[in-house]
Each structure stands twice: as structure tokens, then as C-alpha cells.
A = this chain, B = another copy of it.
Amino acid sequence: MSLVMNREDLTDYMRQVFPQVHRDFVVEELNEDSIVMRLVVEDRHLRPGGTVSGPSMFGLADVSVYAMVLARKGRQSLAVTTNSSLDFLRKPEGGKDMIAHCRLLKLGRSLAVGDVLMFSDGSDKPVARATMTYSLPPEGSAAAAFG
């Protein structure tokens, strides 16, 4: 299967659907089954000691899988996260952006699953791992996606 949005389309669309947060995220690479997303780390993402906060890493993983689903399914802004698991592995490096490498593991009729490894920019040791499941509403339906 192939992409229905390219990197530019995806970036434009995220600007519309995430007006509060789109500036935080940059699509670095986009392939049929994978995406690389940057979190531009600002003070508001940090905890005391310079650590990137848990909610910021959750948000990065969530946006990465959502963007991957959008790029394959098109403008499904009704898709909702139904499940996530995260493992925090190492302390992030202070002052560095976070880079998420996401693989799409499944894109079914009603569920999509992606997993994500997150790194401090320039490092190859994973800071965190996440899996996200999205529920996809029936096509052409405005029904809520909360199955």
C-alpha cells in the first residue's frame, strides 16, 4: 500500500488539526511503513533537572503514530487513541530535541497499531519506547471512534 499524503501535505494538515501544538513537531522522514518525527524541545517540555517530561514523550509518540495513520488513510481526524504503553529507559540529554522513530505494525479496518523508539538527538541509545493503538471510525461515517 502507498501513502495518500506526502510530507508537505501532512505538515499542512497537522497545522490545521493541532493548532496548539503543531509548532512542537517536525516530520523529518516519511515512508510507507515508518515515520521519523522531531519534538522541538522548549522549556515547557522540561522537568526540573532538564529532563524532558513524561507527558511530552507521550505526546511525541502519540503524534508520530497519528501522523503515520493520516499519511496512509487520509484526513481521518476522528481517529482516537484507545491504548498506549510506554517504557522509560534512560534519562534524556538536557537541551536536546527528541527524535521518534515510528513503525506502523498494523493498519486494519478498525484498528491501527504503531510502535515508537525515542532518542535524544544525536544519540543511538533509546530514551523511551511506546506502542499506540488507534481506533478508526467506519469510512464515510461521522460516528465517534471510541469503539
Q: Which residue of the partner chain, among B47, B58, B115, B135, contacts A55 with CB atoms under 8 Å?
A: B58
Question: 1/0 contact trace for A103-125 toward B, CB 8 Å?
Answer: 00110111101010100000000
Interface of chain A: mostly helix, strand, loop or mixed: mixed
Please tell me if A2 contacts chain B, counting CB pairs below 8 Å: no
Q: Which residues of B contact A85 (CB under 8 A)?
A: 83-86, 131
Q: Which residues of B contact A41 (CB under 8 A)?
A: none
Q: Which residues of B contact A44 (CB under 8 A)?
A: 20
* Given A54-B59, A55-B59: A111 in contact with B80 (beta carbons within 8 A): no
Interface residues on A, range: 35 or more
24 pairs, CB–CB < 8 Å, chain A vs chain B: A17-B48, A18-B47, A19-B48, A54-B59, A54-B81, A54-B84, A55-B62, A81-B88, A84-B85, A84-B88, A85-B85, A87-B106, A87-B113, A87-B131, A89-B113, A90-B146, A91-B146, A106-B126, A108-B146, A110-B147, A111-B135, A111-B147, A115-B115, A133-B133
Which residues from chain A sit less than 8 Å from chain B, CB to CB?
17-20, 44, 46-48, 53-56, 58-59, 62, 80-91, 105-106, 108-111, 113, 115, 117, 126, 129, 131, 133, 135-136, 144, 146-147
